[in-house]
Amino acid sequence: LVKGWRGGGVGTSWTYERGNRAVGSAWISVSVDLWCWVTIFVLFTSRTMVGFVAGGWGLKSSGASARVNKRRTVMVAQETEAPKSKMWGDGTDGSACPPADTDFAKKFESIRDAKVPTVTDTMAKFNESFARPVPSVYRSIVNEIITLNHLTTVCPMWRYDAVFGFGFTQIMDKYFSFYPSAEEKEKLFSCIVGALSGLDLQKMRDDTKAVEAFIAGKTEDEVLSMIESGSSEGPVLSAFQYVKEAEFYEWYYSRNFGFGVIFIIEQLGGELTDENVERWAKAIGASEVKIKDELGVYLSSLERLKQAEQMFADLAAREKKKAADQLAVDAKAALEEAEEAKKAVEN
């Protein structure tokens, strides 16, 4: 016998009547919306939510957490036990990736899996043979020469020729022209070449003489005409002709080759400009961009060479002054000693 029911956002009232007389009423005040009570009820009675909360507290027996942990365990076990793919070979069972069916792969199949020395190995070999301190102005140059030439000589596409040897010897002579001791400079050069694979110092010296003999008395246009005619006479033309005809994987460009071209142009009396170097690069079939880069490196290094020359000139002047001062001190001491000896005789 409910007379009426009134619901509100913050409270609810029921009035009970028997006949025409109200027998009681009640007002229940709550601090939250009725729907909050519904939400709280669902939260604490739902098996899923209870399992989630319990799983967050580390209760392994909770429903949802237990199921999630079980799925993770199964996934990890399957991943651990799954056999490794042998599609490429991982080396654990002696398998290896099969060689590609290309001309490049067939050409270098004989050196497949060959042991190649690292830059660290080459530097260690140099330091062992040249157990002397390198002046600070030359230390970075030595490291750069060894590193770049190591990466060149271990490349199977690289091929030594007289132009490479000419560029190597010429750049070494120019870079180290003001080295404090001529004997130490020759020892340094020998140790650098000895640390690198595939290089022979005496052969490079001989090839340098042969290149200089070839270009002596010739003009730049004459040599370019010989190159364009396809002549392979002599060490210079044979090297250039090989570059023109070689496949991309049969010849490897190197910085010393670029230097060799630049020094040939220089000794022929040609201009060391980007345009002229580009003309030579097109004639021999080499990279125009790379040889122009080497020209920039060479021209910028001339400034460093001037700084080194000035530094060693100042050092030599200081050493001479120091030696002269020492001689003056020794002479004065000898004179005083002679005067004292004379006085002793007279007495």
Residue 7's pLDDT is 42
Distance of alpha carbon 143 from alpha carbon 136, whole angstroms: 11
Give CA separation, 45 vs 31, 38, 58, in Å: 21, 11, 19
Instruction: Answer yes or no: is pLDDT of 52 > 50.
Output: no
Q: Average of pLDDT values for 211-223?
A: 94
Among 288, 307, 314, 318, which residue's Cα sits nearest to residue 141?
A: 307
96 versus 310: the higher-pLDDT residue is 310
Q: Choose the most confident range, by mean pLDDT, from 45-59, 130-144, 318-332.
A: 130-144
Instruction: Answer yes or no: is pLDDT of 268 > 80.
Output: yes
Model pTM above 0.85: no
171 versus 81: the higher-pLDDT residue is 171
First to last CA, the chain: 155
Among 313, 307, 265, 308, which residue's Cα sits nearest to residue 286?
A: 265
Share of the chain above pLDDT 70, in %: 69
Taking only the tens place, the pLDDT of each residue in 115-127 is 899 999 999 999 9
Instruction: Answer yes or no: is pLDDT of 166 > 60.
Output: yes
Instruction: Answer yes or no: is pLDDT of 167 > 60.
Output: yes
Task: Specify the residue for token string 């509100």.
Answer: 8
Q: Degrees (nearest 5) of the Cα angle 276, 277, 282?
A: 100
Residue 347's pLDDT is 67
Instruction: Answer yes or no: is pLDDT of 345 > 90.
Output: no
188 versus 324: the higher-pLDDT residue is 188
Taking only the tens place, the pLDDT of each residue in 279-299 is 999 999 999 999 999 999 988
Q: Which helix (H) or strand (E) is 274 found in, with range?
A: helix 274-284
Residue 114's pLDDT is 85
Residue 335's pLDDT is 80
Taking only the tens place, the pLDDT of each residue in 5-44 is 344 444 444 443 444 444 443 333 444 455 555 555 555 5
Residue 182's pLDDT is 86
Distance of alpha carbon 52 from alpha carbon 139, whole angstroms: 65
Residue 38's pLDDT is 54
Q: Distance between alpha carbon 215 and the CA centroid of its chain, in Å?
A: 37
Residue 41's pLDDT is 56
Point out the least confidently predicted range of 40-44, 67-71, 154-158, 184-188.
67-71
Point out the least confidently predicted range of 58-62, 164-168, 274-278.
58-62
Those residues whose C-beta lies under 8 Å from the C-beta of residue 274, and which sit 6 or more positions away, are: 292, 295
180 versus 3: the higher-pLDDT residue is 180
Distance of alpha carbon 128 from alpha carbon 240, whole angstroms: 36
Residue 21's pLDDT is 40
Tokens of 134: 């390198």
Residue 98's pLDDT is 72
